[in-house]
Amino acid sequence: AEVTPGNLSKTFFSTSGTEAVEAAIKIARMYTGKQKIISRYRSYHGATHGSISVTGDPRRLMAEPGVPGTIKAPDPYAYGSTLEPMESLEYIDEMLMLEGDTVAAVLVEPVVGSNGILVPPDEYLPRLKEIAHDHGALLICDEVMAGFGRTGEWFGSDVFDVTPDIMTMAKGLSGAYAPLGATIVTDEITDHFEDEMFCHGHTYAGHPVACAAGLAAIETYQEENLIEHASEVGDYLGDRLEELAQDHPSVGETRGVGLFRGIELTKDPDERVPFGEREDKISTGTTVVDEVAAAASDGGVYVANMINTLIIAPPLPITEDDIDEAVTVLDDALEVSDAAMDR
C-alpha cells in the first residue's frame, strides 16, 4: 500500500502473476455476485486454465474450450486495428449493456506487454473505469509486466492517473529473485470481506522468504531511485528507437513508455501489411521477427519477439551508453527485416 495508487490497501500474496490473476477473478466474482469477465484479444494473463481463458493471446487456443463466463473485447491498437482506440471503448460499453447485470469485472493490462506494447491514449483507462462502474463492474489492472518501474512510474495505472478496483502484480515485485505474486484491492472490497468469507488460498501463499525478497526489492527501487531513472532513460530510449525507424523501411511504428518499448515490423509501411499472423505465435516455423531477434542476440542484445513486434524492455538501471550500444546492434539486426520486405 505504500507504493500502490489510491486506496489499494489489502493484499493477498501468491507465488506468480498467474495465481494473482486467478485470485483477482475470484475476488471480483465473490464481491459483485456476478460471474462474467471481459478481457481483450491482445492480452496475456497467465497459463492456468482460468487465467489462459481470460487471455486473448493465441496461446489460449491450445487450451480451449476455456472456463465459461469469459468474453473478449477489442484493444486500443491504433496501428493494427480497424477501430480507433477510443472506439474500442464504445464497443466495450455496448458489450456491458448487452450482457446485462452479469459482468463482474473488466480485466486489462494498462500497457499491453507480450502482445505488442500497446499504450492507450491518456483518456482511455480513466474512461474505461467509468464505463465499468456505470454497469456495476469492477476494473482489474494486470500489472505483472508493467508494474514496478517498467513504465517509468511505479505502475502502468499511474501513467494514466487511475486507481483500479483490483491490481495484480508479480515479476518486478521481487525483482524476479523469488516467486512472488500479489493481488491488492481497495478499501471497499476489503470491508466486504470483513463480513464475508474469502474462500481462497494456496499452500505457499505469503511465504516469508518470498515476501522478504519483495520487501528488499521495493527498498532497492526506492533507495536507488530506479523508478525516476527508468522514466528519464526511457525517454532517451524512445528517441533512439524513433531514430532507428527513420532509417529502416521495415519499421512501421515504435511505441511505448518508460523502459517498456516495442518496434512493430511491416512488409509495407503505407498499407501496414504485417510479416506474420497472430497464429504464428504458436507455430513451429521461423518468422521474420524471429530472424531479427536472432541477429540482435548474435550481437549481444536480447529482445523478446512476439508476432510482428520486437519488445525492448531492458533492466531498469540501464544507462544511456548501454542504450547507444544496444541501438547499434538493433540497427544492424533490422537489416534482416528490411531485406525481407520483398519476399
Q: What is the pLDDT of residue 274?
A: 86
pTM for the model stands at: 0.95
- How far CA 21 is from CA of 38, 97, 266, 309, in Å, comes to 13, 25, 33, 25
What are the cell numbers at 85?
482506440
The per-residue pLDDT for 286 is 86
Supply the pLDDT for residue 80: 82
Spell out the SS3 assignment of 213-278: HHHHHHHHHHHCCHHHHHHHHHHHHHHHHHHHHHHCCCEEEEEEECCEEEEEECCECCCCECCCCH
Task: Supply the pLDDT for residue 279.
Answer: 66
The stretches in the chain having pLDDT less than 50 are: none
Beta strands 36-40 and 8-14 are: unpaired
**CB proximity list for 54: less than 8 A, separation 6 or greater:** 21, 25, 37, 39, 43, 45, 67, 70, 107
Domains along the chain with CATH numbers = 8-223 (3.40.640.10), 226-342 (3.90.1150.10)
In single-letter form, the type of residue at position 82 comes to T
